[in-house]
């Protein structure tokens, strides 16, 4: 089953809440408001956000919609349909 289109996913309040938390946490860590104990170097928060957006936009390329071959009601059956020829 293919994934829901991006436009309909962005209308789901759960998806919007996840995006808000994800971007908020990345911005907090990236802008230095919150630092991680024992980590002296900056985290590439811009790369995390960029990678997420790139994956979000490119997801359709990795989740293609199956193309119907128009085989009719017997498509995908293990045995061919019986012919009524005498």
> How do residues 24-82 score in pLDDT, each as one tens digit?
888 887 776 566 676 666 667 778 888 988 988 888 788 777 666 665 565 555 666 66
Q: How far apart are CA 39 and CA 37, in angstroms?
A: 6
Strands (E) located in the chain: none
- Rounded to two decimals, what is the model's pTM? 0.54
pLDDT recorded at residue 72: 59
Predicted pLDDT of residue 5: 80
52: number of Cβ within 10 Å: 14
> If you ran DSSP here, which 8-state letter would residue 37 be given?
T
Q: What is the CA radius of gyration of the chain?
A: 24
């Amino acid at each position: 089953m293919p994934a829901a289109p991006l436009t309909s996913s962005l209308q789901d309040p759960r998806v919007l809440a996840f995006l808000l938390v994800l971007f908020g946490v990345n911005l907090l860590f990236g802008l230095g408001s919150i630092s991680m104990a024992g980590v002296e170097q900056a985290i590439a928060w811009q790369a995390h956000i960029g990678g997420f957006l790139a994956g979000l936009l490119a997801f359709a390329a990795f989740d293609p919609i199956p193309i119907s071959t128009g085989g009719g009601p017997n498509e995908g059956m293990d045995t061919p349909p019986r012919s009524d020829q005498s």
